[in-house]
């Protein structure tokens, strides 16, 4: 691991930063003095590949601070001209359980707004990044967690976990930008419509067959090797052309999102505050607790 910040490393791809250095960098560039709280970031100076590890126990549930932190890391890595990003989890069971439902229950409108805007920003940042992105899904990933995996370009999953988008199950509609993201991975509209309307959750092995993930890996170590191999398969000289091509594939979805950003927020706020949705959310949270 590199131990210093410098302008141009010898391979010309990535500034070299350790977690502590990046934390200082955040303070300068975002106005926030707080170091990363829920993630760790490491950058390999030989490969130019960053690994961002989600670390908000027990479930990596997404609250506004956590989502802001992930989005800021991606932006900083873009500036430092890293080549690729691997997203993974410090948990051995859960990659990401989606939005922090405890923070969505009986919350003030302003708090809910902060959560949704952070989710929108995180999706936009990850979906549009020129970095080569791989989700190394080393645990269950549902709802907002599925969004993180599906917005990445390549998915490597460990066996015997669950992946899917289950919003209709919690009584809410899937937003158009997430439908577009899903279609970018599963272009068969009938299958995508069925999956999202039915809140279909796939087991790893079935997700591979369905094309929702690209590879299975036997262990996290093997998954990391495969992720590095995927990112390294893009030659250095092609990175700019690659990024422009990626952007063109995703541009329409990004524009649709920008055109409807405010409306999307209003729909979420209106739905999440409905008494029946809140009541269902309360029961759902109880059912999660009872499992323990
Ligand atoms: C509110 C709905 C908004 C809908 C918005 C509409 C559009 C969608 C656009 C994209 C946005 C998505 C919104 C969301 O992300 S909603 C989140 C939905 N998430 C879920 O339904 C996941 C619920 N969790 C599970 O199914 C399971 O926990 C699991 C992820 C499969 C892991 O199972 P397991 O390994 O058995 O672990 P536990 O169930 O025992 O959980 C461990 C621990 O974590 C707590 N927890 C789990 N999920 C959440 C969560 N989402 N938020 C907060 N806390 C969560 C769980 O309560 C346990 O805690 P304790 O150890 O303290 O009991």
Q: Say yes or no: CB of residue 218 within 6 Å of ligand 1.
A: no
Q: Distance (Å, rounded) from C-alpha 54 to C-alpha 148?
A: 11
The reply to whether 260 belongs to the active site is: no
Arithmetic mean of pLDDT over the chain:
89
Report the nearest atom of ligand 1 relative to the CA of 99: 15
Please choose, from the candidates 69, 164, 58, 173, the residue with its C-alpha nearest in 3D space to the C-alpha of residue 122: 69
Query: 3-class SS at 212?
Result: coil
Residue 94 · residue 131 · CB < 8 Å? no
Supply the pLDDT for residue 20.
34
- Give the residue extent of every domain in the chain: 13-219+239-291
The reply to whether 167 belongs to the active site is: yes
Please state whether 230 falls in left (phi above 0), alpha (psi between -120 and 50) or beta: alpha
When comparing pLDDT for 291 and 35, which is higher?
Answer: 35
Please choose, from the candidates 96, 52, 55, 54, the residue with its C-alpha nearest in 3D space to the C-alpha of residue 74: 52
Between the alpha carbon of residue 192 and those of residues 140, 151, 153, 198, the distances in Å are 20, 15, 17, 10
The answer, yes or no, to whether residue 83 has pLDDT greater than 50, is yes
Phi, psi angles (nearest 5°) of residue 200: -70, 130
Structure tokens at 273: 């505050």
Which residue has tokens 């989005």?
Answer: 71
The answer, yes or no, to whether residue 28 has pLDDT greater than 70, is no
Report the nearest atom of ligand 1 relative to the CA of 104: 1
Q: Say yes or no: CB of residue 99 within 6 Å of ligand 1.
A: yes
Q: How far is the CA of 225 from the centre of ligand 1 (A)?
A: 29
Query: 3-class SS at 98?
Result: coil
Q: Distance (Å, rounded) from C-alpha 221 to C-alpha 70?
A: 22
Please choose, from the candidates 137, 64, 77, the residue with its C-alpha nearest in 3D space to the C-alpha of residue 107: 64
Report the nearest atom of ligand 1 relative to the CA of 169: 21
The reply to whether 286 belongs to the active site is: no
Mean pLDDT of 175-197: 97
Query: What's the CATH number of domain 13-219+239-291, 3.30.70.260, 3.40.50.12780, 2.60.40.420, 3.90.226.10?
Result: 3.90.226.10
Phi, psi angles (nearest 5°) of residue 28: -75, -40
Supply the pLDDT for residue 35.
84
Name the residue of 67, 101, 107, 148 to mutate for ligand 1: max ligand atoms within 8 A of Cβ.
101
Query: How large a percentage of the chain has pLDDT more than 70?
Result: 88
Name the residue of 93, 97, 120 to mutate for ligand 1: max ligand atoms within 8 A of Cβ.
97
Degrees, nearest 5: CA angle 11-41-127: 85
Taking the model in full, what pTM does it have?
0.90
The answer, yes or no, to whether residue 279 has pLDDT greater than 60, is yes
Mean pLDDT of 10-21: 36
Q: How confident is the model at residue 32 (pLDDT cuts 50, 70, 90)?
A: low
Mean pLDDT of 90-109: 97
Query: Per the residue annotation, which of 69, 76, 153, 167 is the catalytic one?
Result: 167
Q: Say yes or no: CB of residue 174 within 6 Å of ligand 1.
A: yes
- The residue whose CA has the least distance to atom 27 of ligand 1 is 97
Q: How far is the CA of 234 from the centre of ligand 1 (A)?
A: 35
């Amino acid at each position: 691991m590199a131990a210093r910040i410098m302008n141009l490393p010898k391979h010309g791809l990535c500034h070299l930063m350790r977690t502590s250095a990046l934390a200082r960098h955040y303070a300068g560039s975002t106005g926030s003095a707080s170091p990363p709280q829920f993630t760790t970031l490491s950058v390999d100076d030989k490969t130019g590949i960053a690994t961002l590890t989600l670390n908000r126990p027990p479930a990596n549930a997404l609250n506004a601070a956590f989502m802001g932190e992930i989005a800021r890391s991606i932006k900083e890595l873009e500036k430092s001209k890293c080549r690729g990003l691997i997203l993974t989890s410090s948990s051995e069971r859960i990659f990401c359980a989606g939005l922090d439902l405890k923070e969505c229950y009986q919350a003030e409108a302003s708090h809910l707004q902060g959560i949704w805007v952070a989710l929108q920003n995180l999706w936009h940042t990850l979906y549009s990044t020129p970095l080569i992105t791989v989700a190394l899904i080393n645990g269950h990933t549902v709802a907002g967690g599925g969004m993180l995996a599906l917005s990445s370009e390549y998915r490597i999953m460990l066996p015997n976990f669950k992946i899917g988008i289950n919003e209709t199950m919690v009584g809410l509609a899937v937003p158009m930008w997430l439908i577009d993201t899903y279609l970018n991975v599963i272009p068969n509209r009938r299958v995508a419509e069925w999956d999202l309307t039915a809140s279909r959750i796939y087991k790893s092995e079935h997700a591979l067959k369905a094309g929702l993930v690209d590879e299975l890996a036997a262990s996290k170590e093997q998954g990391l090797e495969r992720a590095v191999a995927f990112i390294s398969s893009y030659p250095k000289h092609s990175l700019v052309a690659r990024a422009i091509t990626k952007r063109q594939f995703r541009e329409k979805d990004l524009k649709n999102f920008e055109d409807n950003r405010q409306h999307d927020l209003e729909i979420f706020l209106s739905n999440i505050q409905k008494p029946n949705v809140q009541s269902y959310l309360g029961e759902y949270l109880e059912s999660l607790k009872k499992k323990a």
